[in-house]
Amino acid sequence: MLPFKLIYSDEYYLPIGQHVFPAEKYRRVHRQLIESGIADRSDFVTPQPASDQDILLVHTPHYVEKLKAGTLSAREEMQLEIPYSPELVHAFWLAAGGSILAAQHALKNGVALNIGGGFHHAFPDHGEGFCMINDVAVAIRRMQRDSKIRTAMTIDCDVHHGNGTAAIFAGTRTVSEPLPSSGPAGLGRKPLMRGTHAGDVFTISLHQENNYPAQKPPSSIDIDLPDGITDDDYLAWLDNALSSGLRQFTPDLLCYIAGADPYREDQLGGLALTIEGLKRRDELVFRVAKAQSVPVMVTYAGGYARKVEDTVTIHCNTVEAAGEVFAPRPSLP
């Protein structure tokens, strides 16, 4: 049994038919986690859909109304890049509920994983790039509303820039609290790292520069990676970004968006990480979170490997990595 919880529902499946997004990956990850012995059935908890009130902490009433009434325009549905249905709306409300539950369990146990979510391309007033609702942003705002946390940091390792998350938290400064005193001075001089300021949520995105989305609204730290970057360089940049972020900002919760698409066999990505490199990436994030005593919640985001089983393995490895860092086996005498 794992010393942390995995949040999962069979209803995470996205009813989008034949699509480059392998909607069946959630069920396959769930099955493989159990069959491989990485997790027990008792490690899983089932989420409830987020309430409309939760969704409205991030999204505009007009957008939420359109989703519920099924009145997106053809252009809006095209931008979403997945076919609208009321069942799809349910799946996104459920993913957001799953991320809320993951945040709650992470605050209790130090770490928790949502076996879904990570829909980082959703903006307050529209969805795009297969993302309807920004579940991570909803979870952060809900934890803040419940006074469970004051600050949060997102570390987005999907191959695509976290544009929705960056836009949602851009320039959000708490009114009652002073701004962080240490600014991101010096970051701008590094070739790949861009930095702006942070308010109560500090956003970090490591992504392939030459990829969707064309417009990348500034995160607190953006690492614009060149095409074809391999394991060691990627891990050095991740280490760099995490240490830089944590020098500037003290989060009450770390939200790790563990996209499987920096993988070298990904159909929508142009980086060249191996499956082993991606597991080392997960371990690095978990080790840093543990060393700094920051609770970490995980979401899965994208993964479009030519072979779906590779995406499934990468996602399962994230759970295994969490197990190795947070429940290390006792060393032999």
Residue 158 in the binding site for Zn ion (CB under 5 A): yes
> What distance in Å separates the CA atoms of residue 113 and residue 322, rounded to the nearest whole number?
9
Select 160 or 315, whichever has its Cβ closest to Zn ion: 160
Select 7 or 157, whichever has its Cβ closest to Zn ion: 157
Residue 282 in the binding site for Zn ion (CB under 5 A): no
Q: Find the binding residues for Zn ion in span 204-233 (CB under 5 A).
A: none
Q: Find the binding residues for Zn ion in span 160-179 (CB under 5 A).
A: 160
Give the binding range for Zn ion (CB under 5 A) out of 12-20, 43-51, 96-104, 302-310. Answer: 302-310
Give the binding range for Zn ion (CB under 5 A) out of 38-46, 138-146, 247-255, 301-309. Answer: 301-309
Q: Report the phi/psi class of residue 214: left, alpha or beta, with left for phi > 0 and alpha for psi in -120 to 50.
A: alpha
Select 158 or 231, whichever has its Cβ closest to Zn ion: 158
Select 104 or 318, whichever has its Cβ closest to Zn ion: 318
How many residues form the binding site for Zn ion (CB under 5 A)? 5
Give the binding range for Zn ion (CB under 5 A) out of 37-45, 77-85, 151-159, 216-224. Answer: 151-159
Number of Cβ atoms within 10 Å of the Cβ of 74: 7
Select 4 or 300, whichever has its Cβ closest to Zn ion: 300
Between the alpha carbon of residue 158 and those of residues 118, 179, 322, the distances in Å are 9, 28, 18
* Of positions 98, 270, 302, 323, contacts Zn ion by CB under 5 A: 302
Return the ∠ at Cα 285 (arms to 279 and 288), rounded to 5°.
Answer: 135
Select 82 or 294, whichever has its Cβ closest to Zn ion: 82
> What distance in Å separates the CA atoms of residue 68 and residue 117, rounded to the nearest whole number?
19
Q: Can you tell me whether residue 96 is helix, strand or coil?
A: helix
Q: Find the binding residues for Zn ion in span 231-270 (CB under 5 A).
A: 259, 261
The pairing of strands 296-299 and 254-257 is parallel
Q: Least Å distance between CB 277 and Zn ion?
A: 17
Amino acid at 68: K
What are the residues whose beta carbons fall under 8 Å from the beta carbon of 153, sequence distance 6 or more?
201, 202, 203, 204, 245, 246, 249, 251, 253, 254, 255, 294
Q: Least Å distance between CB 302 and Zn ion?
A: 3
Q: Helix 308-326 to helix 275-291 angle, to the nearest 10 degrees?
A: 30
Q: Return residues touching Zn ion (CB under 5 A).
A: 158, 160, 259, 261, 302
